[in-house]
């Protein structure tokens, strides 16, 4: 679909796409502001990196991630990473 915000998978089902990165930027970080408290809470409780991703073909495209503050092992996932 136009802009890559919505795509059809091999079965014809609609899925959110990586175009949401552009959409997220255009709404001045509203998605991040809404998700960060929940993702931070989860990262702290699991002591693990938490990521928000969308499917694109056979890949997962990272929209954002939160790393736990006290873990000795960090997985760095940056926006756009596949």
pTM for the structure as a whole: 0.60
Cα 70 from Cα 43, distance rounded (Å): 10
Q: Which residues sit opposite 15 in a β-bridge?
A: 7
Domain assignment present for 25: yes
Give the count of domains, the chain.
1
Domain assignment present for 57: yes
Show the domain range for 47: 2-66
Q: Which of 18, 16, 74, 24 is nearest to 50 (CA)?
A: 74
Domain assignment present for 48: yes
Domain assignment present for 80: no
Using one digit for the tens of pLDDT, what is the confidence trace for 24-73?
555 446 777 788 888 899 999 888 898 888 888 888 888 889 999 887 77
Using one digit for the tens of pLDDT, what is the confidence trace for 43-57?
998 888 988 888 888
């Amino acid at each position: 679909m136009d802009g890559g915000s919505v795509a059809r998978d091999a079965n014809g089902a609609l899925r959110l796409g990586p175009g949401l990165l552009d959409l997220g930027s255009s709404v001045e970080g509203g998605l991040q502001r809404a998700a960060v408290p929940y993702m931070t809470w989860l990262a702290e409780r699991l002591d693990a990196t938490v990521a928000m991703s969308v499917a694109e073909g056979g890949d997962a495209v990272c929209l954002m991630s939160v790393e736990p503050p006290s873990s000795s092992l960090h997985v760095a996932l940056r926006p756009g990473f596949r």
